């Protein structure tokens, strides 16, 4: 919507809506495995920022790590400044959405969207990274697991 564009953190939406309206919503999210999510973010950044064109995935993870060290209230709302859980938790770290769907479970996503009257076709863009065959190094895995530990825990990966 124009009022709440895609990727608006839930806490902002909840704050702007009346409590009864918020509670009446069928809120959900489609989460991504943090490993593949990072690859997609890297690909997006490479395509959008020429300065990153020659950066390795490890260099990108270090940049991401630095961005995420800034207090959440001071960060810009951009894909490289938020964890998935930053979109979904309130200031007390309570989950704000009623349902978490895993991106990798396409049949469940399709079924849920249909049950909510949301049109779904196989042509829906699936955000698959061109680097999806990337072999993670141990150091890359450790960085992802450290900076996205809350995503792994809360989203069930």
Q: What is the pLDDT of residues 55-77, one digit of tens each?
A: 889 998 998 898 888 887 787 77
pLDDT of the residue at 132: 65
Report the alpha-carbon distance of residue 78 to residue 99 in Å, rounded.
23
Question: For residue 123, is pLDDT > 60?
Answer: no
Residue 130's pLDDT is what? Answer: 57
| Lowest model confidence (mean pLDDT) among 7-11, 58-62, 72-76, 140-144 | 72-76
Predicted TM-score (pTM) of the model is 0.82
Question: How far from 124 is each of 107, 113, 127, CA to CA, in Å?
Answer: 13, 12, 9
Sign, Cα dihedral of 127, 99, 73, 35: negative
């Amino acid at each position: 919507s124009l009022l709440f564009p895609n990727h608006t953190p839930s806490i902002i939406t909840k704050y702007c809506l009346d409590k009864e309206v918020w509670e009446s919503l069928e809120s959900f999210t489609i989460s991504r495995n943090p490993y593949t999510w990072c690859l997609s973010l890297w690909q997006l950044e490479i395509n959008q920022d020429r300065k990153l064109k020659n950066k390795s995935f490890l260099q990108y993870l270090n940049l991401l790590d630095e961005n995420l060290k800034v207090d959440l209230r001071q960060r810009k709302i951009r894909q490289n400044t938020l964890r998935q859980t930053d979109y979904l938790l309130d200031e007390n770290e309570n989950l704000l959405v009623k349902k978490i769907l895993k991106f990798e479970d396409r049949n469940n996503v399709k079924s849920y969207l249909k049950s909510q009257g949301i049109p779904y076709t196989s042509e829906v863009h699936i955000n698959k990274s061109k680097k999806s065959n990337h072999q993670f190094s141990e150091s890359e895995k450790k960085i992802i697991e450290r900076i996205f530990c809350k995503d792994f825990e809360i989203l069930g990966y």
